Structure 1
Amino acid sequence: MSITFDGLASGLNTQDIISKLLRVEQQPINRLNQRKQQIQKERDAWKDLGTRLQNLASALSSLVQRSTVVGFTVRPSDSNAPFTASARPGAVAGTYSIQIQQLATSTTLRSTGPIGAEIDPNAVLNNTNLRSGVTAGSFTINGVAITVDPAVDTLNDVVDRINASGAGVVASLVTVDGRLRLKIEAATPGGPLQLGALGDTSNFLSVTSLLGAPRTGDAIVGTRSLAVVKTSVPLNQAMLATPVSGAGTLTINGVAINYDPAVDSLSTIVNRINSSNAGVTASYDATSDRVVLTAKTTGSLSITVSDTGNLATALGLDPNQQQLGQNAVYSLDGGATWQYSASNIVSDAIPGVTLTLTRTMSSPYSFTVEPDTDGAVSAVRRFVDQFNSVLSFIAEKTSYDATTKTAGTLLGDSAVRAVESTLRRLVTSPAINAGGRFRTLADVGISFGPVGSAVGTTNQLQLDESKLRAALQENPDAVFELFGATSRATLTTPGDIVRVAGTPRPPASGRYVITSDGAGNLTAEFRDQANQLLWSATGTITAGGSNTTLVPGLTLSAATTLTGATSEISVTQQEGVLTQLGRYLNGILGRDGLVRVRGDAFEQQLRSIDQQIDRFQQRLDDRKAQLVRQFATLERILAEMQTQGTQLQGQIVKMLGAS
Structure 2
Amino acid sequence: MSSTVLNLGGMQSVSTMTGTIDYSQIIEQLTQANRAPGDALNATIQNEQLKQNDWSNVAKLATAVQNDLVTLASANTFNSFTTTIGGTDTSAISAAAAGGATAGTYAINVTQQGSKATLTSGAEIGKAAALTDPMNANEFAQPISLGTISATIGGTTVSHTVTGSDSIDSILTALFGANGSQVSWSMNNNQLSISSNTAQNITFGTAGDSSNLFQVLGLTGQVLAGTGTSAKSSLVGHAQLNSYLTSANFSSSLTSTTSGDLRINGVDITYDTGTDTLQSVINQINASTAGVTAGYDPLQDKMILTSNTSQPVSVSDVSGNLGQVLGLTSGVAGAGQPWIYQINNGPAQTSASATVSNAIPGVSFTMNQTGSATLTVAQDTSALTKAVNTFVGDFNTLYGQLNTYTGKGGDLQGDVAIAQLGFQYMNDVLNTVPDMTQFAQQSVWGIGINNGAIGSAPGTTNSLQVDSGALTAAFANDPSEVQSLLTGMATRLNTDLTNLTGQFNTLTPNSLYSQNISGIAQNMENMYADNIKNTEQQQQQIYDQAAAEAQQMQTQFNQLQQFQQQMAAQQNALAAMLGSLKGY
Shorter-chain TM-score category?
A: 0.7 to 0.9
* Residue matched to 1:337: 347
What is the count of residue pairs matched by the alignment? 545
Q: Which runs of 5+ in 2 are unaligned?
A: 1-8, 224-228, 504-514
CA displacement at 1:144 relative to structure 2: 4.0
- For 1:368, the aligned partner's letter is T
User: Normalising by the residue count of structure 2, what TM-score does the alignment of the two structures yield?
Assistant: 0.79
CA displacement at 1:50 relative to structure 2: 2.0
Measured at CA, do residues 475 and 273 of structure 1 come closer, stay the same or move farther in structure 2, by a change above 3 Å?
same
Does the CA contact (< 8 Å) of 1:244 and 1:314 recur in 2?
Answer: yes
2:156 corresponds to 1:148: no
Measured in 2, the distance between the counterparts of 1:655 and 1:30 equals 57
Measured in 2, the distance between the counterparts of 1:89 and 1:309 equals 47
Of 429, 432, 435, the match for 1:433: 435
2:328 corresponds to 1:317: yes
Measured in 2, the distance between the counterparts of 1:118 and 1:469 equals 71
* Residue matched to 1:443: 446
* Residue matched to 2:494: 582
* Residue matched to 1:375: 383
CA displacement at 1:195 relative to structure 2: 5.4
Secondary structure of the residue aligned to 1:125 is coil
Q: How does 1:120-519 map to 2 (within 5 A)?
A: 120-127=130-137, 129-139=139-149, 144=157, 146-160=159-173, 179-180=190-191, 196-197=206-207, 199-208=208-217, 225-247=235-257, 248-252=259-263, 253-273=265-285, 280-295=292-307, 298-318=309-329, 321-333=332-344, 337-357=347-367, 359-361=368-370, 363-400=371-408, 407-437=409-439, 439-484=442-487
Measured in 1, the distance between the counterparts of 2:431 and 2:105 equals 38
- For 1:429, the aligned partner's letter is N
CA displacement at 1:23 relative to structure 2: 2.7
Listed one character per residue, the Cα deviations across residues 540-573 of structure 1 (whole Å, up to 9, x for unaligned) are xxxxxxxxxxxxxxxxxxxxxxxxxxxxxxxxxx
Identity of aligned residues (%): 25
Q: How does 1:56-67 map to 2 (within 5 A)?
A: 56-67=65-76
CA displacement at 1:69 relative to structure 2: 2.6
Secondary structure of the residue aligned to 1:414 is coil
Secondary structure of the residue aligned to 1:76 is strand
Q: Which runs of 5+ in 1 are unaligned?
A: 401-406, 485-575
Measured in 2, the distance between the counterparts of 1:212 and 1:101 equals 48
- For 1:652, the aligned partner's letter is A
Listed one character per residue, the Cα deviations across residues 611-641 of structure 1 (whole Å, up to 9, x for unaligned) are 4423542453354144224313422441453
Of 7, 11, 26, the match for 2:12: 7
Measured at CA, do residues 22 and 164 of structure 1 come closer, stay the same or move farther in structure 2, by a change above 3 Å?
farther
Does the CA contact (< 8 Å) of 1:108 and 1:325 recur in 2?
Answer: yes
Measured in 1, the distance between the counterparts of 2:222 and 2:502 equals 71
Measured at CA, do residues 386 and 82 of structure 1 come closer, stay the same or move farther in structure 2, by a change above 3 Å?
farther
Measured in 1, the distance between the counterparts of 2:54 and 2:193 equals 81
Secondary structure of the residue aligned to 2:311 is coil
Secondary structure of the residue aligned to 1:109 is strand
CA displacement at 1:328 relative to structure 2: 2.7
Measured at CA, do residues 319 and 117 of structure 1 come closer, stay the same or move farther in structure 2, by a change above 3 Å?
closer
Measured at CA, do residues 483 and 597 of structure 1 come closer, stay the same or move farther in structure 2, by a change above 3 Å?
closer
* Residue matched to 2:510: none
Measured in 2, the distance between the counterparts of 1:81 and 1:622 equals 89
Secondary structure of the residue aligned to 1:52 is helix
Measured in 2, the distance between the counterparts of 1:171 and 1:49 equals 94
Q: Quick one: higher RCO (CA 8 Å, sep 6+), 1 or 2?
A: 2
Measured in 2, the distance between the counterparts of 1:382 and 1:124 equals 73
Measured at CA, do residues 369 and 276 of structure 1 come closer, stay the same or move farther in structure 2, by a change above 3 Å?
closer
Of 74, 78, 96, the match for 1:86: 96
Measured in 2, the distance between the counterparts of 1:212 and 1:609 equals 91
* Residue matched to 1:55: 64
User: Normalising by the residue count of structure 1, what TM-score does the alignment of the two structures yield?
Assistant: 0.71
- For 1:329, the aligned partner's letter is I
CA displacement at 1:433 relative to structure 2: 0.9
CA displacement at 1:597 relative to structure 2: 2.8
* Residue matched to 2:509: none
Measured in 1, the distance between the counterparts of 2:541 and 2:195 equals 102
Secondary structure of the residue aligned to 1:74 is strand
Measured in 2, the distance between the counterparts of 1:453 and 1:145 equals 99
CA displacement at 1:277 relative to structure 2: 5.7
CA displacement at 1:445 relative to structure 2: 1.7
CA displacement at 1:327 relative to structure 2: 3.0
- For 2:301, the aligned partner's letter is D
Larger radius of gyration: 2
Measured in 2, the distance between the counterparts of 1:410 and 1:639 equals 58
Measured at CA, do residues 366 and 287 of structure 1 come closer, stay the same or move farther in structure 2, by a change above 3 Å?
same
Does the CA contact (< 8 Å) of 1:302 and 1:324 recur in 2?
Answer: no
* Residue matched to 2:507: none
Measured at CA, do residues 180 and 650 of structure 1 come closer, stay the same or move farther in structure 2, by a change above 3 Å?
farther
- For 1:428, the aligned partner's letter is L
Secondary structure of the residue aligned to 1:415 is coil
Measured at CA, do residues 34 and 301 of structure 1 come closer, stay the same or move farther in structure 2, by a change above 3 Å?
farther
Measured at CA, do residues 235 and 370 of structure 1 come closer, stay the same or move farther in structure 2, by a change above 3 Å?
closer
Measured at CA, do residues 474 and 601 of structure 1 come closer, stay the same or move farther in structure 2, by a change above 3 Å?
closer
Listed one character per residue, the Cα deviations across residues 581-624 of structure 1 (whole Å, up to 9, x for unaligned) are 33433443336698823323322432353244235424533541
Does the CA contact (< 8 Å) of 1:430 and 1:440 recur in 2?
Answer: yes
* Residue matched to 2:32: 23
Measured in 2, the distance between the counterparts of 1:587 and 1:602 equals 14
Listed one character per residue, the Cα deviations across residues 491-548 of structure 1 (whole Å, up to 9, x for unaligned) are xxxxxxxxxxxxxxxxxxxxxxxxxxxxxxxxxxxxxxxxxxxxxxxxxxxxxxxxxx
Measured at CA, do residues 598 and 386 of structure 1 come closer, stay the same or move farther in structure 2, by a change above 3 Å?
closer
Measured in 1, the distance between the counterparts of 2:568 and 2:496 equals 86
CA displacement at 1:651 relative to structure 2: 6.0
- For 2:365, the aligned partner's letter is L
Measured in 2, the distance between the counterparts of 1:408 and 1:212 equals 89
Measured in 2, the distance between the counterparts of 1:34 and 1:622 equals 20
